[in-house]
Amino acid sequence: MTDWIERGHFIDWILVLIVLEALLIGLLVKLHRVRLGLMTTGLNLLAGASLLLVMRSVVYEQPWYMILAWLTVALLAHSADVLMRARAAHEREQRMVSPRSKS
């Protein structure tokens, strides 16, 4: 068990679970059983997976620029996710403040 953790194999399994989660979410959305913002959900999963890949790079002692690359991907995905959520919240707030008149 310790060897499994020290070699980082658990990270690979978590990444597989993230891919399966993304596929399941996509399938549920396609079947119209779940209503989610696919872009923000995808960005959230990408940010999480990127951070796991940072950890995997550290465990496998990859070069520093690989760690930096995955950190950059995580930062960009997280930033885009936050901006999209903030924009959506602002639009909701605007609709509540000035509802459209039905004429």
Predicted confidence at residue 100, as pLDDT, reads: 64
As a whole number, the mean pLDDT across the chain is 88
Mean pLDDT of 42-65: 95
H/E/C letters for each residue in 13-79?
HHHHHHHHHHHHHHHHHHCCCCCCCHHHHHHHHHHHHHHHHHHHHHHCCCCHHHHHHHHHHHHHHHH
Is the model's pLDDT at 101 over the cut of 80? no
Residue 68's pLDDT band (boundaries 50, 70, 90)? very high
Residue 102's pLDDT band (boundaries 50, 70, 90)? low
